[in-house]
Amino acid sequence: MAQIKVEALDKSFGDFHAVKSASFTVEDGQFLCLLGPSGCGKTTTLRMIAGLELPTAGTIRLDGEDVTMNRASARDIAFVFQLFALYPHMNVRRNIGFPLKCEGIGAAERDRRVVEAARILRISHLLDRSVSGLAGGDRQRVALGRAIVRKPKCFLMDEPLGALDTEMREAMIHELRALHDRLGATTVYVTHDQLEAMAMADRIAVMNNGVVEQVASPRDIYDRPASLFVADFIGSPPMNFLPFRGGLQTGAEAIRLGERDVAIPAAREAMAESELVLGVRPEHVRFTDRGMVRGEVYGTEYLGTTQIVTVTTSYGALKARSPSSRSFRTGETVGLDFRPDTLSIFDKASGRAIRTALHEGVAHG
């Protein structure tokens, strides 16, 4: 097992700049999710760690050793592909044993380790089956078997659950996390699904347009987004954004929003007068008659225990999460209030979050 350190990694395909100076560290035994929309460079980053693409610039260290330009076969890593990449001309046993064969491990030892891997993944009964007849989840288990059988330094997974149906996906999320806890293997996992990332990761690296926007724990990513993009991408429905113009003094505990003062976590940096954005999660919006923002109910989405209420205000449509016991009439005028200690403030031009008391005690990395 190993630490993976990615420093200022760059990759261009001709004119297309796929990854822009990506840096992050995956500690030994950690489960890191690379999360982002399609085309954000997360898979390219993973493939560079694997050695399937060579970076244009930057370094990749495995346990301190610079492997940036090493061949994939020389890196001692395992890769799980979205489409499994099981060799169709081999049965399950030979598929799982294939990496061991390359290392020149004898048949007896090979078989012992294949059986062991199959036992961990509970596919022992499938060992002599052809891979083409397997269900999606079993195929993915065979692919995982091929990865764990070699005891590599780390696992790289490229949307391994993307090809499975929802039900199987849920089950595999728990299985993967349990497998990780059991093996303690350093894992980098690429996905565009925030629920997968939230459920499995120790840390999440959110990428957009080739840039790593934030690397943090799932909780920090959700509660303390480092940029407008992260705030918008994570959460369903996403964070509400209220644009306003104003300045901030260090220590300021309120901002001027229209005619009213809105309490915010104390600012830890000063901001000259500029276009800013107030960010508030739907569940931090409260309905009060004396609310600082007023608007009309546009519609509701019923979600079982809660409902999402869309309110048209002078700041645009805001979404609020409310217990579904409360009823709203379309067109009804309501007042909205925000929970002060949870608000984020962003600089609109750069998209960067402005440091406030919200970020205190959070290590940035």
Q: Which residues bind another protein (CB under 8 A)?
A: 50-52, 71-73, 75, 77-79, 81, 83, 85, 87-89, 98-99, 102-103, 132, 146, 150
CB closer to another protein, 144 vs 234? 144
- Do the Cβ atoms of 3 and 28 come closer than 8 Å? yes
Q: Rounded to 5 degrees, what angle do the CA atoms 255, 260, 264 make?
A: 30
Nearest CB to another protein, comparing residues 9 and 78: 78
Residue (149 or 278) nearer to another protein, CB: 149
CB of 24 to another protein, least distance (A): 21
Among residues 316, 317, 299, 27, the alpha carbon closest in space to that of 308 is found at 299
Smallest gap from Cβ 62 to another protein, in A, equals: 13
Q: Write down the least CB distance from residue 121 to another protein, Å.
A: 17
DSSP 267: B
Q: Identify which of residues 50 and 248 has a Cβ nearer to another protein in the complex.
A: 50
Instruction: Give min distance, CB of 297 to another protein, in A.
Output: 47
Q: How far is the CB of 37 from another protein (least distance, A)?
A: 22
Which residue shows structure tokens 């997360």?
42
Question: Helix, strand, or coil here: 202?
Answer: coil
**Least distance between another protein and beta carbon 136 (Å):** 16
Q: What is the DSSP letter of 117?
A: H
Nearer to another protein (CB atom), residue 51 or residue 225: 51
Q: Which is nearer to another protein, 132 or 249 (CB)?
A: 132
Contact 48, 55 (CB under 8 A): yes
CA–CA distance from 68 to each of 24, 52, 71, 330 (Å)?
15, 11, 9, 58
- Map residue 33 onto helix, strand or coil: strand
What share of residues in the chain are helix, strand, coil (percent, to 5)? 30, 35, 35
